[in-house]
Protein backbone atom coordinates (compact mmCIF):
# COMPACT_ATOMS: atom_id res chain seq x y z
CA UNK A 1 0.00 0.00 0.00
CA UNK A 2 2.84 2.51 0.69
CA UNK A 3 4.04 2.01 -2.91
CA UNK A 4 0.59 2.93 -4.25
CA UNK A 5 0.56 6.10 -2.13
CA UNK A 6 4.04 7.02 -3.34
CA UNK A 7 3.05 6.48 -6.97
CA UNK A 8 -0.17 8.43 -6.48
CA UNK A 9 1.71 11.31 -4.84
CA UNK A 10 4.25 11.35 -7.69
CA UNK A 11 1.46 11.36 -10.28
CA UNK A 12 -0.30 14.25 -8.53
CA UNK A 13 2.94 16.25 -8.37
CA UNK A 14 3.56 15.64 -12.07
CA UNK A 15 0.02 16.69 -12.91
CA UNK A 16 0.34 19.87 -10.83
CA UNK A 17 3.60 20.76 -12.56
CA UNK A 18 2.06 20.49 -16.03
CA UNK A 19 -1.33 22.06 -15.26
CA UNK A 20 -1.99 25.62 -16.41
CA UNK A 21 -1.08 28.21 -13.84
CA UNK A 22 -3.89 29.49 -11.66
CA UNK A 23 -5.10 33.08 -11.59
CA UNK A 24 -2.92 34.15 -8.69
CA UNK A 25 0.35 33.10 -10.34
CA UNK A 26 -0.55 34.93 -13.56
CA UNK A 27 -1.06 38.26 -11.81
CA UNK A 28 2.00 40.42 -11.23
CA UNK A 29 2.77 44.09 -10.60
CA UNK A 30 6.37 45.25 -10.68
CA UNK A 31 8.65 48.09 -11.72
CA UNK A 32 10.78 50.83 -10.21
CA UNK A 33 7.62 52.38 -8.73
CA UNK A 34 7.90 49.57 -6.19
CA UNK A 35 11.08 51.19 -4.83
CA UNK A 36 9.01 54.09 -3.42
CA UNK A 37 5.59 52.45 -2.88
CA UNK A 38 4.27 49.12 -1.68
CA UNK A 39 2.93 47.37 -4.79
CA UNK A 40 1.73 44.30 -2.89
CA UNK A 41 -1.77 43.21 -3.92
CA UNK A 42 -4.18 40.30 -3.53
CA UNK A 43 -6.48 40.52 -6.52
CA UNK A 44 -6.87 42.09 -9.93
CA UNK A 45 -10.01 43.42 -11.57
CA UNK A 46 -10.58 44.29 -15.23
CA UNK A 47 -13.58 46.53 -15.75
CA UNK A 48 -15.03 48.36 -18.72
CA UNK A 49 -17.22 51.38 -19.40
CA UNK A 50 -18.41 52.64 -22.79
CA UNK A 51 -15.21 54.64 -23.25
CA UNK A 52 -12.56 53.11 -21.00
CA UNK A 53 -10.79 49.95 -19.92
CA UNK A 54 -9.60 49.73 -16.32
CA UNK A 55 -7.06 47.31 -14.82
CA UNK A 56 -6.92 47.55 -11.04
CA UNK A 57 -4.68 45.82 -8.51
CA UNK A 58 -6.26 45.67 -5.01
CA UNK A 59 -5.64 44.52 -1.47
CA UNK A 60 -8.08 44.28 1.45
CA UNK A 61 -8.13 47.08 4.01
CA UNK A 62 -10.60 46.87 6.88
CA UNK A 63 -14.11 46.44 5.49
CA UNK A 64 -13.06 47.70 2.04
CA UNK A 65 -10.06 47.51 -0.19
CA UNK A 66 -7.15 49.68 -1.24
CA UNK A 67 -6.46 50.34 -4.90
CA UNK A 68 -2.74 49.68 -5.02
CA UNK A 69 -2.46 50.60 -8.72
CA UNK A 70 -5.08 51.40 -11.31
CA UNK A 71 -4.49 51.88 -15.03
CA UNK A 72 -7.29 53.61 -16.93
CA UNK A 73 -7.00 53.46 -20.72
CA UNK A 74 -9.31 55.77 -22.71
CA UNK A 75 -10.02 52.96 -25.16
CA UNK A 76 -13.45 51.89 -26.35
CA UNK A 77 -13.65 48.25 -25.14
CA UNK A 78 -15.50 47.08 -28.27
CA UNK A 79 -12.55 48.28 -30.39
CA UNK A 80 -9.93 46.25 -28.51
CA UNK A 81 -8.37 43.62 -30.76
CA UNK A 82 -6.88 40.63 -28.91
CA UNK A 83 -3.07 40.57 -28.92
CA UNK A 84 -2.91 44.00 -30.59
CA UNK A 85 -0.87 46.54 -28.64
CA UNK A 86 -2.76 49.58 -27.35
CA UNK A 87 -0.51 52.66 -27.26
CA UNK A 88 -0.80 54.47 -23.92
CA UNK A 89 1.64 57.26 -24.83
CA UNK A 90 0.16 60.76 -25.13
CA UNK A 91 -1.59 61.52 -28.44
CA UNK A 92 0.09 63.83 -30.99
CA UNK A 93 -1.89 66.79 -29.60
CA UNK A 94 -0.55 66.02 -26.11
CA UNK A 95 -3.81 64.69 -24.72
CA UNK A 96 -3.66 61.72 -22.39
CA UNK A 97 -4.61 58.24 -23.61
CA UNK A 98 -4.33 56.74 -20.13
CA UNK A 99 -3.47 57.49 -16.54
CA UNK A 100 -2.39 55.67 -13.41
CA UNK A 101 -3.88 56.27 -9.97
CA UNK A 102 -3.80 54.87 -6.46
CA UNK A 103 -6.21 54.99 -3.53
CA UNK A 104 -4.73 53.41 -0.42
CA UNK A 105 -5.73 54.29 3.14
CA UNK A 106 -3.22 56.45 5.02
CA UNK A 107 -1.30 57.11 1.79
CA UNK A 108 -1.34 60.66 0.38
CA UNK A 109 -0.31 59.52 -3.09
CA UNK A 110 -3.33 59.41 -5.37
CA UNK A 111 -2.29 60.40 -8.88
CA UNK A 112 0.94 59.28 -10.46
CA UNK A 113 2.98 61.31 -12.92
CA UNK A 114 1.59 61.38 -16.46
CA UNK A 115 2.36 58.37 -18.65
CA UNK A 116 5.28 59.18 -20.96
CA UNK A 117 5.26 55.85 -22.80
CA UNK A 118 3.23 52.72 -22.39
CA UNK A 119 1.45 49.75 -23.87
CA UNK A 120 -1.49 47.55 -22.93
CA UNK A 121 -2.42 44.22 -24.51
CA UNK A 122 -5.32 41.83 -23.96
CA UNK A 123 -5.43 38.17 -25.02
CA UNK A 124 -9.19 38.05 -25.69
CA UNK A 125 -12.07 40.41 -26.51
CA UNK A 126 -13.34 42.51 -23.61
CA UNK A 127 -16.78 41.04 -22.91
CA UNK A 128 -18.64 41.38 -19.62
CA UNK A 129 -18.58 38.21 -17.49
CA UNK A 130 -15.93 36.59 -19.70
CA UNK A 131 -12.32 35.81 -18.73
CA UNK A 132 -9.45 37.89 -20.05
CA UNK A 133 -5.75 38.27 -19.50
CA UNK A 134 -3.05 40.61 -20.65
CA UNK A 135 -0.12 42.79 -19.77
CA UNK A 136 0.90 46.43 -19.55
CA UNK A 137 4.05 48.54 -19.32
CA UNK A 138 4.26 52.23 -18.49
CA UNK A 139 7.01 54.76 -17.94
CA UNK A 140 5.88 57.82 -16.04
CA UNK A 141 6.86 61.37 -16.96
CA UNK A 142 6.17 64.66 -15.14
CA UNK A 143 3.53 65.73 -12.62
CA UNK A 144 1.26 63.91 -10.22
CA UNK A 145 1.92 63.07 -6.59
CA UNK A 146 4.71 60.58 -7.31
CA UNK A 147 6.40 58.39 -9.86
CA UNK A 148 8.38 60.80 -12.06
CA UNK A 149 10.58 58.71 -14.36
CA UNK A 150 9.57 55.44 -12.75
CA UNK A 151 8.17 52.33 -14.41
CA UNK A 152 5.32 49.96 -13.69
CA UNK A 153 4.54 46.75 -15.53
CA UNK A 154 2.25 43.89 -14.88
CA UNK A 155 0.42 40.83 -16.08
CA UNK A 156 -3.12 39.89 -15.23
CA UNK A 157 -5.73 37.19 -15.70
CA UNK A 158 -9.29 37.49 -14.40
CA UNK A 159 -12.17 35.04 -14.51
CA UNK A 160 -14.63 37.72 -15.59
CA UNK A 161 -14.66 41.29 -16.88
CA UNK A 162 -16.92 43.47 -14.72
CA UNK A 163 -18.79 46.73 -15.38
CA UNK A 164 -16.82 49.83 -14.45
CA UNK A 165 -18.07 53.03 -12.94
For the segment 4-60, what is each residue's pLDDT rounded down to a tens digit? 444 444 443 443 333 333 344 599 999 999 999 999 999 999 999 999 999 999 999
Going by their DSSP bridges, the two strands 162-163 and 151-158 should be labelled as unpaired
Least confident piece of the model among 36-40, 94-98, 107-111, 134-138? 107-111
Tell me how far apart the alpha carbons of residues 46 and 67 are, in angstroms, rounded to a whole number: 13
Residue boundaries of the structural domains of the chain: 21-163
Tell me how far apart the alpha carbons of residues 49 and 39 are, in angstroms, rounded to a whole number: 25
Does residue 125 sit in helix, strand or coil?
coil
Q: What is the pTM of this model?
A: 0.83
Confidence band (pLDDT; 50, 70, 90) for 75?
A: very high
124 Rama class: left (phi>0) / alpha (psi -120 to 50) / beta: beta
CA distances from 74 to 39, 51, 77, 107, 110 (A): 23, 6, 9, 26, 19
Complete DSSP assignment for 87-124: E-SPPTTS--SEEEEEE-TT----BBPPEEEEEEEESS
Amino acid sequence: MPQVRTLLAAALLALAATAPAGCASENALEGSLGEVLDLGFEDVEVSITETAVIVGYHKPHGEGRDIVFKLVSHTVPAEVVPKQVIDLSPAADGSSRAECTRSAADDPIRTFAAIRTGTLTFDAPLVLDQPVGGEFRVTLGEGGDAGKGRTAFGTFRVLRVVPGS
